[in-house]
Amino acid sequence: MLATMFLSTYGDPDTLPAVRRTLDRVRSGANDPLADDSIRELERAIDELEFDEDVDAGKTAEELRREIEDLRHENARLREEIGLSGEPYRKGASEKLGRNDPCWCGSGRKYKRCHLKSDQS
């Protein structure tokens, strides 16, 4: 998963096969109601793909986005079916998040780069 995200940051169109293989692995484990983190990581990797204008890879990326959206809906249905809350765990008032702590949403990003601004408003 990390290799896919690393490759996608450079806008290499050759990354799409790696993203597709990762999506297939995530899809095979999509029945796991906790697969939401993997889906979110994969979605972020696809969003970060930047293609050269002369490479016609946009359609493939759009297909991947649709597949991810389908996985998100299936994951939400499974989480609801077994009674898991849709909200990620947030630290209580006594456990204040630091700027450099991982964000409470589970995105893997630092809190200061993810939800700090929205939580302060």
For residue range 38-78, list pLDDT tens digits in order: 667 766 666 665 444 444 555 566 777 788 788 888 877 87
Q: Is 103 helix (H, G, I), strand (E, B) or coil?
A: coil
Task: Say what the pTM is.
Answer: 0.32
What mean pLDDT comes out for the span 20-29?
A: 69
Percent of the chain whose predicted confidence (pLDDT) is above 90: 0
Distance CA 32, CA 77 (A): 11
